[in-house]
Amino acid sequence: MSDSDTQSLTDSVTDYPMENGRRYHRYHEGGKWLNSTHFFIFRRCLICRESLPYPNDEQELDRLDMQHHMFKLVMSGRLYHVPLEDPKEILDIGTGSGIWPIEMAPLFPHAAITGTDLSPVQPTEVPENVHFLVDDATEDDWLWNPNHFDFVHISHMTGAMPSFKELLRKAFTYTKPGAYLECHEMDPKPKCDDGTMPPENPDGYSAFALHDWYDLNMRSSKDVEPSRQFRIAPRIERWMKEVGFVDVKQQVFKIPTNTWPTDDHLKEVGKWSESNWLEALSGWSYKPFLALGWSKPEIEVFLVNVRKSIQDRNVHAYMDFFIVTGRKPSPGEV
């Protein structure tokens, strides 16, 4: 392939659409780009399409780094929870800003760490053992042979794909026997343990607008955009077992919506959580609500009340953050 061809492919995949003041992914269906340093060697390209209803601009990348810091705070600074012994091949699906592979690199300097995403928005100056790949993990034919990876990490896929269970099935195929898969996912359904959160109203709007925001996203993903599976976190453990992983373990952590907790650690987590929600809310809302037939002014008015509910210290709301790990059985293992 010539340099001009490579450049044209690069220009094409980075020709991002701008909507509602935000920049979104554009992806060539079936297209994959990679080179030995960062991007791109072209594999094949079919029809250009838009993917993922969430932004990929600098504002969103900064938010993803902030969210990464919040989850590390929840996990006491850890990046993973499985027993890794000198892994050679590590895959991060949905790498976003690329911060997870970059932080993993010094921990495993002899491992080749690959991050995949729909857009090449990751930094170009990265550790030598880190590479990024423009790839759609929902495709059946991944770039590697089966039984390739020593560790696969999947995170933050809420609302991003039609079937998370199928993604787990593919990850099972490309994970080595005896190797591990780890999933990090937050359940967006608001919860409360002390009765301070107003109840949901199935017949109309609730007194707590965050309930309605969640319900509208569920409706959008089910009725209008069936290619988006919005609530996946509580089902990952069961799905992982069903596709064949063993030693499946689940941990659940509470992430407060704001600084309402009296516990110092949870209050600190809540501070980051509130900032994350307020920064993410418009980007998480526009495309799903527009798909429901809402206008931009209607969305803006509604989000005012959602922001108020997120910031309400009198409501002790939280979301569950799930960490689920599993191992691919060794040959002959039941």
DSSP codes, 282-295: HHHHHHHHHHTT--
- What is the model's pLDDT at position 15? 60
Per the structure block, which two tokens stand in for 136?
């759609």
Q: What is the pLDDT of residue 52?
A: 60
Q: What is the pLDDT of residue 227?
A: 62
DSSP 244: T
pTM for the full model?
0.86
Closest CA to 122 of 135, 107, 108: 135
In this prediction, residue 204 carries a pLDDT of 80
The pLDDT of residue 221 is: 84
Residue (of 12, 252, 206) closest to 120 by Cα position: 12
Which pLDDT belongs to residue 14? 59
Q: What is the pLDDT of residues 56-81, one digit of tens each?
A: 777 888 999 999 999 999 999 999 99
DSSP 8-state assignment for residue 233: G
Q: What is the pLDDT of residue 280?
A: 92
Residue stretches of the chain with pLDDT short of 50: 1-9, 27-50
pLDDT digits (tens, 9 = 90+) for 157-187: 888 788 999 999 999 999 999 999 999 999 9
DSSP H or E segment with residue 49 = strand 48-49
Looking at residue 118, its pLDDT comes to: 81
pLDDT at 266: 98
* pLDDT for the residue 135: 82
Give the phi and the psi of residue 315 in degrees, each rounded to 5.
-100, 115
The answer to whether 323 touches 251, Cβ cutoff 8 Å, is yes
Q: Would you state the pLDDT for residue 141?
A: 83
Give the span between the Cα atoms of 46 and 238, in whole angstroms.
Answer: 35
Dist CA 176 CA 27 (whole Å): 29
Q: Collect all residues with Cβ–Cβ distance below 8 Å to 278 and sequence separation of at least 6.
A: 307, 310, 311
